[in-house]
Amino acid sequence: MRINYDILDLQAFVAVAERASFRQAAADVFLSQSALSRRIDKLEESLGVKLFERTTRRVQLTNVGETFLVNVRTALAGLEDAVLGIAELAAHRTGTVTLACVPSAVWHFLPEILKEFSARYPRIRVRIHDESAQDVLNLVLNGEADFGINFAGAENPEIHFEPIHVESYVLAMRHDHPLAQRAQLSWKETVDLRYISVAKSSGNRSVIDAALAGIEKHPIIFCEVNHVSGVLALVESGIGVAAVPGLSVLPGRQGGLVGVPLVDPEIKRTLGLITKRDHSMAPAARTLFDMLTAALLERRAGSPSL
């Protein structure tokens, strides 16, 4: 049998069958009654069967027409699912994902995951904003980033915060510093050291200042820098020491520096994946977010510090 009809003919057939009226069906599919009638005639001629019994009063499916209707509905539903599936696949394979995160997260969490993501979806562009904690939070809240990695935002009612890593603050110093071999240092022991700090606008500074509020003696700050990267550059030059998150001075992270754990008090911060509540991510962003979540949860399950 030679197939001589198209999807529009099938849609016209379903409309007439459901409405039992050429006039109403024509309105549904935006055709004139004569055009709709020609489509049905074409379909019947191609199939070699009669699909409708037509009188001046009514339109009724034949027995063959009833069977055909079931098959056509199934076929059209399958075709729609196939088209939606291709559209979804295309949406995952193209597009741009914008991620905001504190700088230490770029080094520690992202390289391996982004390498895998890029291999799977080479046409998806990833834009990373490595910013201060407050800037990361604002980027997510304002919709300028699809999601973020941050230690700020857990208390914000507009933010969903999923913890992924707990890290302690350490005293960063050159590897040849007299205290570099110590297992730990109390804050009291840092009082007389030349101390470099991030500025008061930094989220890290807020964490430290809040934790030291009840401590009688504080290290005296002789130099302030806006970002941890600048602080570490000065520490590496030998100018002084600085309290920084532990991830900042992991082996291989910053050549020539070590991080000695600080205690009395021990100060910690919790990093988490942050998303804006009730915000639906685009498919490309959701794909990266899900990969990142799965990898970090797996890492957390295998380490007591995660």
**pLDDT at residue 176 in the model:** 92
Q: pLDDT below 50 — which residues of the chain?
A: 1, 304-306
**Cis peptide, bond prior to residue 265, ω within 30 of zero:** yes
The 10s digit of each residue's pLDDT in 140-172 is: 999 999 999 999 888 899 999 999 888 899 999
Q: Are residues 11 and 159 both part of a single domain?
A: no
The structural domain count of the chain equals: 2
Under 8 Å between Cβ of 248 and 235:
no
Q: Are residues 187 and 263 both part of a single domain?
A: yes
Q: Are residues 52 and 106 both part of a single domain?
A: no
Domain of residue 263 covers 100-270
Q: Are residues 16 and 154 both part of a single domain?
A: no
Q: Are residues 76 and 170 both part of a single domain?
A: no
User: In this structure, is residue 276 part of a structural domain?
Assistant: no
**pLDDT at residue 9 in the model:** 87
Q: What is the CATH number of the domain that holds 28?
A: 1.10.10.10
Domain boundary among 34, 57, 91: 91
User: In this structure, is residue 282 part of a structural domain?
Assistant: no
Q: Are residues 49 and 19 both part of a single domain?
A: yes
**Nearest residue to 179 via CA among 266, 260, 262, 265:** 260
Q: Are residues 64 and 213 both part of a single domain?
A: no
**pLDDT at residue 254 in the model:** 56
Q: Are residues 39 and 185 both part of a single domain?
A: no
Domain boundary among 40, 56, 91: 91
Q: Are residues 105 and 240 both part of a single domain?
A: yes
Beta bridge partners of 174: 257
User: In this structure, is residue 118 part of a structural domain?
Assistant: yes
User: In this structure, is residue 255 part of a structural domain?
Assistant: yes
User: In this structure, is residue 291 part of a structural domain?
Assistant: no
Domain boundary among 50, 73, 91: 91
Q: Are residues 133 and 266 both part of a single domain?
A: yes
Under 8 Å between Cβ of 51 and 13:
yes
User: In this structure, is residue 286 part of a structural domain?
Assistant: no
Q: Are residues 224 and 75 both part of a single domain?
A: no
**pLDDT at residue 306 in the model:** 45
**pLDDT at residue 304 in the model:** 47
**pLDDT at residue 36 in the model:** 87
User: In this structure, is residue 300 part of a structural domain?
Assistant: no
Q: Are residues 81 and 137 both part of a single domain?
A: no
Q: What is the CATH number of the domain that holds 192?
A: 3.40.190.290
**pLDDT at residue 4 in the model:** 62
**pLDDT at residue 158 in the model:** 95
User: In this structure, is residue 288 part of a structural domain?
Assistant: no
